[in-house]
């Protein structure tokens, strides 16, 4: 290999150095994709990508989704803008996997830092496979075969005008995904619930549903299954939404933070 791998923690994550994401030949790209499956989230420094190059890199992994609710660039609808300013602070500061409210949620996401605060604004990642593996056997047995209801309204409903709610609900009905999904490429099992989009566990009492969701969330929240990335301008992070969750810290206000993301279309969770 012509690039250097620096693991972040024993749980997941690696910085890849000596690499230019705009000029990977097929062999280097294949090796990078294997490292992504192994480490689940990869980080790159000093990647001065144009928007077109960011999109092109994402498309090497598959079709890119167009997000119906998040702000994008009109001329580049594949790019989602994630912006926080003094006047409008924002950070996705809860543990989640992207767009699980879709029938076929995201395979992965590629995020690039445009404007980074001098300190703060880190992103934390959790290995959802390891979080599942650390559950006690009786908990694994308890959640085996369960599904959960995922709903975009929990996060994006307030931004949908009343006269559009019925139309958007028809386009994006609630989805029922496994509480534990199996990765289609590695065969690993991973926790697949999150507070952003899950209404409840299907077919059980609300109290039991809440107990299960809290227990799985605590497993995701353990530092033993996590890594943390400190951003710099032109840093890039790419994570596998099928086997990780992430949390963006909101400790940098009133500083500005501007990020751009592309999201790769995935498959129906099994």
% of the chain with per-residue pLDDT over 90: 93
pTM of the model: 0.96
Mean pLDDT within 242-251: 97
Homologous superfamily assigned to 1-270: Clavaminate synthase-like (3.60.130.10)
pLDDT the model gives residue 142: 98
pLDDT the model gives residue 1: 58
Give the residue numbers marked as catalytic: 96, 98, 246, 261
Mean pLDDT within 188-212: 97
pLDDT the model gives residue 71: 72
What is the pLDDT of the chain when averaged over all its residues? 96
pLDDT the model gives residue 29: 96
* 165-198 pLDDT, tens digit each: 999 999 999 999 999 999 999 999 999 999 999 9
pLDDT at 73 over 80: no
% of the chain with per-residue pLDDT over 70: 100
* 77-133 pLDDT, tens digit each: 999 999 999 999 999 999 999 999 999 999 999 999 999 999 999 999 999 999 999
pLDDT at 2 over 80: no
Domain limits of the chain? 1-270
CA 78 – CA 51 distance, rounded (Å): 10
């Amino acid at each position: 290999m012509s690039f250097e791998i620096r693991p972040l923690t024993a749980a997941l994550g690696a910085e890849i150095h000596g690499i230019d994401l705009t000029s990977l030949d097929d062999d280097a790209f294949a090796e990078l994709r294997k490292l992504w499956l192994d480490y689940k989230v990869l980080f790159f420094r000093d990647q001065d990508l144009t928007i077109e190059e960011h999109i092109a890199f994402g498309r090497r992994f598959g079709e890119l989704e167009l997000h119906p609710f998040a702000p994008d660039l009109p001329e580049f609808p594949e790019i989602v803008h994630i912006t926080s300013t003094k006047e409008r602070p924002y950070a996705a500061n809860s543990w989640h996997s992207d767009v699980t409210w879709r029938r076929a949620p995201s395979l992965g996401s590629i995020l690039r830092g445009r404007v980074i605060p001098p300190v703060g604004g880190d992103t934390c990642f959790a290995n959802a496979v390891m979080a599942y593996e650390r559950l006690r056997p009786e908990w694994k047995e308890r959640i085996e075969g369960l599904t959960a209801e995922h709903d975009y309204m929990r996060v994006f409903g307030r931004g949908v005008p009343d006269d559009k709610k019925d139309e958007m609900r028809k386009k994006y009905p609630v989805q029922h995904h496994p509480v534990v999904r199996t990765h289609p490429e590695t065969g690993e099992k991973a926790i697949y619930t999150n507070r952003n989009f899950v209404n409840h566990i299907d077919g059980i009492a609300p109290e039991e549903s809440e107990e299960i969701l809290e227990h799985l969330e605590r497993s995701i929240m353990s530092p033993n299954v996590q890594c943390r990335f400190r951003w710099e301008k032109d840093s890039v992070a790419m994570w596998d939404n099928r086997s990780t969750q992430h949390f963006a810290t909101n400790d940098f206000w009133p500083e500005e933070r501007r990020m751009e993301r592309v999201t790769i279309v995935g498959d129906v969770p099994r």
